[in-house]
């Protein structure tokens, strides 16, 4: 693999990192298909590389001052137990599945995600009365937009736990962060405001991806210099993306992403058949 | 710590591109290992904070997560 491959991976990763930061998801859903379809890497190498970039993105978000303020550590710890368990099960099943099945699964999941995105184009989060009690797992934080402290309670905890297990499973199986499953779930059904949901998910994703990355790395399914190029690219991209994110028109980006994901899904499907 | 991983990965990549394959491999792998260690360190910090607050149930949850991470290390060694 030559210089051009390294340059291409780095450049593409910068783009995926920026898109991921804009959308509040990792770049994994784009990176895995890119490595498989364009660089022609076997899917398990693509997954290993992608998981390493997920760790990098997660660290960038959760070490920032804004991230630290919004992370709900207790909720994160509780859900992380289920997520890492799901991730371990995913690692074991990944070995049993053929590349064709993995391609097919990736196609199905990306299609599902694009539908979720389309259905959430206009979703606005409801903020609870600040006088309310947050309960044991809930939280409160100062919100810049409204200029006051907001409080939230956790609803439907069992659902959040099941979702976390599934997210962890998909993460290690497909090399995505799993935030794409957890953020909408926590936000739409469990009462967590979108910013707290995204920050808490970012914190969890780093740990989940580490669980997966350890396994892929330990099995030798990582090409160090390509992984380095990918991680550096994603770091540059997500840094740039986070700065643009505040001003971006999220609705159009979501729409564009949904379309791109459908194309990705179709391409992966052709690989599966 | 985060910066250390980035610097090592950038240096390793530069070495690899310069054709110095074996020092590149050491630097790149060190960078990747530090990268994988960062979320674990963050998790341990959270555990220390909960322990100071006397919230032992959350400490227990965190210990389970660390144990599961160790489990994934074991899977990578002998894995099915």
One digit per residue, pLDDT tens: chain B, 80 residues? Answer: 567 778 888 887 777 777 777 777 888 888 888 888 888 888 888 888 888 888 888 888 888 888 888 888 887 776 54
Going by the DSSP 8-state scheme, the letter that residue A195 receives in this structure is: H
* Average per-residue pLDDT for chain A: 80
Contact between A193 and A125 (Cβ < 8 Å) = yes
Positive or negative: CA dihedral A232, A236, A239, A244: negative
Say how far apart CA A93 and CA A102 lie, in whole Å: 10
Q: Which of A81, A85, A214 sits opposite B76 (nearest CB)?
A: A214
Q: What is the per-residue pLDDT for B2?
A: 63
**pLDDT at residue A65 above 50?**
yes
Q: What is the per-residue pLDDT for A8?
A: 84
**pLDDT at residue A190 above 60?**
yes
Q: Which residue has the higher pLDDT, B20 or A237?
A: A237
CB-based contact, B12 to chain A, within 8 Å: yes
Say how far apart CA B22 and CA B42 lie, in whole Å: 31
Which of B45, B8, B78 has the alpha carbon at shortest distance from A218?
B78
Asked if A215 lies within 8 A of B50 by C-beta distance, the reply is no
**pLDDT at residue A43 above 60?**
yes
Say how far apart CA A225 and CA B14 lie, in whole Å: 9
**pLDDT at residue A133 above 80?**
no
Which of A187, A229, A197, A261 has the alpha carbon at shortest distance from A6?
A229
List of E strands, chain A: 139-143, 148-152
**pLDDT at residue A128 above 60?**
no
Model pTM score: 0.84
The single residue listed with the structure tokens 């989060």 is: A125
Distance from CA of A138 to the nearest CA of B (A): 14
Q: Which of B9, B18, B48 to mutate to test the interface with A (most CBs of A within 10 A)?
A: B9
Which of A20-24, A119-123, A198-202 shows the highest mean pLDDT?
Answer: A198-202
How far CA A191 is from CA of A71, A123, A128, A194, B32, in Å, comes to: 15, 13, 9, 9, 36
Q: Which of A87, A210, A227 sits opposite B40 (nearest CB)?
A: A210
Which residue in chain A has the smallest CA separation from B2? A59
pLDDT tens digits for A71-100? Answer: 888 888 888 899 999 888 888 888 788 888
Q: What is the per-residue pLDDT for B80?
A: 47
Which residue in chain A has the smallest CA separation from B45? A73
**pLDDT at residue A252 above 60?**
yes
Q: What is the dihedral of CA A30, A34, A37, A40, to 10 degrees?
A: -140
Residues of chain B found within 8 Å of residue A76, distances taken between Cβ atoms: 46
Mean pLDDT of A146-168: 80
Q: What is the per-residue pLDDT for A189?
A: 76
Q: Please state, for a pLDDT cut of 90, what percent of chain A lies above it.
A: 0
Q: What is the per-residue pLDDT for A135?
A: 64
Cβ atoms within 10 Å of A189's Cβ, excluding its own: 13
Confidence bin at A231 (pLDDT 50/70/90): confident
Q: Which helix (H) or strand (E) holds B60?
A: helix B56-78
Asked if B25 lies within 8 A of A63 by C-beta distance, the reply is no
Q: Which of A74, A211, A235 sits opposite B72 (nearest CB)?
A: A211
Asked if A52 lies within 8 A of B36 by C-beta distance, the reply is yes
3-state helix, strand, coil in chain B (%, to 5): 90, 0, 10
Asked if A77 lies within 8 A of B65 by C-beta distance, the reply is yes
Distance from CA of A185 to the nearest CA of B (A): 21
Asked if B40 lies within 8 A of A74 by C-beta distance, the reply is no
Asked if B39 lies within 8 A of A92 by C-beta distance, the reply is no
Q: What is the per-residue pLDDT for A191?
A: 76
């Amino acid at each position: 693999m030559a210089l051009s491959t390294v340059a291409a991976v780095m450049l593409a990763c910068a783009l995926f990192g920026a898109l991921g930061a804009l959308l509040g998801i990792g770049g994994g859903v784009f990176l895995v298909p890119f490595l498989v379809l364009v660089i022609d890497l076997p899917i398990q190498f693509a997954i290993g590389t992608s998981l390493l970039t997920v760790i990098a993105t997660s660290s960038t978000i959760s070490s920032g001052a804004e991230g630290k303020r919004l992370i709900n550590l207790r909720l994160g710890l509780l859900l992380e137990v289920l997520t890492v368990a799901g991730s371990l099960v995913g690692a074991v099943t990944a070995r049993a599945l053929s590349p064709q099945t993995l391609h097919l699964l990736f196609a199905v999941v990306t299609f599902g995600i694009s539908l979720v995105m389309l259905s959430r184009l206009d979703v606005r989060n409801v903020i609870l009365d600040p006088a309310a009690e947050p309960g044991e797992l809930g939280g409160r934080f100062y919100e810049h937009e409204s200029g006051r402290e907001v409080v939230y309670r956790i609803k439907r905890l069992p659902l959040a736990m099941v979702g976390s297990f599934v997210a962890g499973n998909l993460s290690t199986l497909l090399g995505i962060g799993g935030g794409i499953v957890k953020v909408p779930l926590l936000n739409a059904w469990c009462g967590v405001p979108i910013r707290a949901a995204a920050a808490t998910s970012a914190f969890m994703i780093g740990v989940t991806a580490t669980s997966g990355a350890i396994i892929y790395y330990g099995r030798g399914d990582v090409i160090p210099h390509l992984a380095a190029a990918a991680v550096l690219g994603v770091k540059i991209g997500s840094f740039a993306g986070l700065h643009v994110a505040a001003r971006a028109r999220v609705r159009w980006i979501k729409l564009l992403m949904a379309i791109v994901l459908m194309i990705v899904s179709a391409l992966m499907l052709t690989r599966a058949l | 710590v985060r910066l250390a991983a980035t610097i090592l990965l950038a240096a390793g990549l530069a070495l690899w591109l310069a054709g110095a394959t074996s020092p590149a491999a050491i630097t790149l792998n060190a960078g990747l290992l530090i990268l994988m260690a960062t979320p674990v360190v963050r998790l341990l910090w959270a555990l220390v904070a909960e322990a100071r607050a006397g919230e032992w149930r959350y400490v227990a949850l965190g210990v389970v997560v660390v144990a599961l991470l160790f489990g994934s290390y074991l899977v990578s060694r002998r894995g099915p």
